[in-house]
Chains A and B, each alone.
Chain A
Amino acid sequence: MGTVLQFVVLGLGLGAVYIGLGSGLLLVHRATGMINFAQGAIATWGAYVFAELRNTGTLVFPIGSVDLGEPPSTATSLVIALATAIALGFAVHYLAFRPVRQNSVLAQVVVSVALLITIQALVVLRFGPNKVDVESFVPGGTVTVLGASIPTRELLIALVVVVLAALVWCYLRFTRIGIATRAASENERAAVLMGFSPSWLAAIAQAGAAFVGTVAVILASSLTGLNADYFGLLVIPALAVLLVARLESIPILVVAAIGLGSFQSLIGLLVTQPWWPVWAQSGLDQVIPFAVVMVILFVTGNRLPTRGSTQQIRLPDVPIPRMRPVVAIGLLVAAGVALALTEGTIRFGLTTSLILSLLALSYVVLTGYLGQISLAQSAFAGAAGFVLSKASVDWGVPFPVSMILCALLATALGMLVALPAFRIRGAQLAIVTLAAGLGIERFIFNNYSLSPPEGNPIADASLFGLDLAVREGRDLSRLSFSLMVLVIVAIVVWIFVRVASGDMGRAFLAVRANERAAESSGINVRRTKVIGFALSAFIAGIAGCLIGFSRGQLSAESFTVMAGLQLLAVAYLGGITTIGGSLVAGLIGPLGISYVLMRGFLDLGEYYELVLGLALILTAILNPVGIAGATHHQIEFIRRKLARRRADAAPPVDVALREEPTRV
Chain B
Amino acid sequence: MSDTHGLYARELTVRYGGLVANSAVSITVRPGEIVGLIGPNGAGKTTFVDALTGFTPMTGEITLDGRAIDALPPHERRAAGLSRTWQSGELFGNLSTTENLLVATRRAGWTALARDVFGRHRRTGREVVDAALEMVGLVDVADTLARDLSLGQQKLVGVARAAAGGCTVLLLDEPAAGLDSMESRALALRLRSIADAGPGILLIDHDMSLVLNVCDRVTVLEFGKQIFTGDPGAARSDPRVVAAYLGTPTEVGHV
Contacts and interface: CB of A to CB of B under 8 A. Distances in A.
Interface of A: 317-318, 320, 495, 498-499, 501-507, 509-510, 512-514, 516-525, 527-528, 531, 535, 661, 663
A505 B103 CA distance: 10
Contacts of A525: 75
B107 A522 contact: yes
A517 B91 CA distance: 7
Given A514-B92, A531-B110, A522 B104 contact: yes
Nearest to A517: B90
Contact of A663 (B93, B104, B145): B145
Which are the 3 A-B pairs with shortest beta-carbon distances?
A502-B116, A507-B108, A522-B78
A524 B94 contact: no
Contacts of A524: 73, 75-76, 108-109
Contacts of B76: 524
14 contacts: A320-B99, A498-B116, A509-B92, A510-B92, A513-B93, A517-B91, A517-B92, A519-B73, A519-B78, A520-B53, A520-B78, A520-B90, A522-B79, A525-B75
Nearest to B112: A503
Given A498-B117, A505-B116, A510 B103 contact: yes
B179 interface: no
Nearest to B107: A522
B204 to A, nearest CB: 15
Given A499-B117, A535-B113, A663-B145, A506 B94 contact: no
B155 interface: no
A527 B90 CA distance: 21
B74 interface: yes
Contacts of A510: 92, 95, 103
Contacts of A495: 117
A204 to B, nearest CB: 35
B46 to A, nearest CB: 12
B121 interface: yes
Nearest to B161: A521
B94 A519 contact: no
B240 interface: no
B94 A531 contact: no
Contacts of B103: 506-507, 510, 518, 521, 523
A313 B108 CA distance: 24
Interface in B48-105: 53, 55, 73-76, 78-79, 83-84, 86, 90-95, 99, 102-104
Contact of A520 (B84, B99, B102): B84
Contacts of B112: 502-504, 507
Contacts of A507: 103, 106, 108, 112
Contacts of A522: 75, 78-79, 104, 107
B115 interface: yes
B74 A519 contact: yes
A303 B145 CA distance: 32
Nearest to B158: A517
Of A504, A512, A518, chain B has the most CB atoms within 10 Å of the CB of: A504
Nearest to B167: A522
A514 B90 CA distance: 7
Contacts of A516: 55, 86, 90
Interface of B: 53, 55, 73-76, 78-79, 83-84, 86, 90-95, 99, 102-104, 106-110, 112-113, 115-117, 121-122, 144-145, 148, 161-162
A503 B75 contact: no
Given A506-B99, A520-B83, 10 more contacts: A502-B116, A506-B102, A506-B106, A507-B103, A507-B112, A513-B93, A517-B86, A518-B92, A521-B162, A527-B108
A48 B104 CA distance: 56
A517 B93 CA distance: 11
A663 B117 CA distance: 29
A513 B145 CA distance: 13
A503 B104 contact: no
A640 to B, nearest CB: 15
A506 B113 CA distance: 11
Contacts of A506: 95, 99, 102-103, 106, 108
B95 A523 contact: no
Contacts of B113: 499, 504, 531, 535
A324 to B, nearest CB: 15
Contacts of B110: 527, 531
Contacts of B122: 503
B181 to A, nearest CB: 25
A661 B107 contact: no
A498 B122 CA distance: 12
Of A520, A661, A663, chain B has the most CB atoms within 10 Å of the CB of: A520
A506 B116 CA distance: 11
Contacts of A504: 108, 112-113, 116
Contact of B104 (A501, A513, A521, A531): A521
Nearest to A521: B104
Contacts of B162: 520-521
Contacts of A505: 116
A519 B148 CA distance: 23
A458 B33 CA distance: 68
A191 B121 CA distance: 53
Contacts of B79: 522
Given A502-B121, A504-B116, A518-B103, A509 B95 contact: yes
A538 to B, nearest CB: 11
A509 B92 CA distance: 8
A503 B106 contact: yes
A518 B103 CA distance: 8
Contact of A318 (B75, B94, B106, B121): B94
A101 B78 CA distance: 37
A547 to B, nearest CB: 24
A503 B108 contact: yes
Nearest to A315: B94
Contacts of B117: 495, 498-499, 502
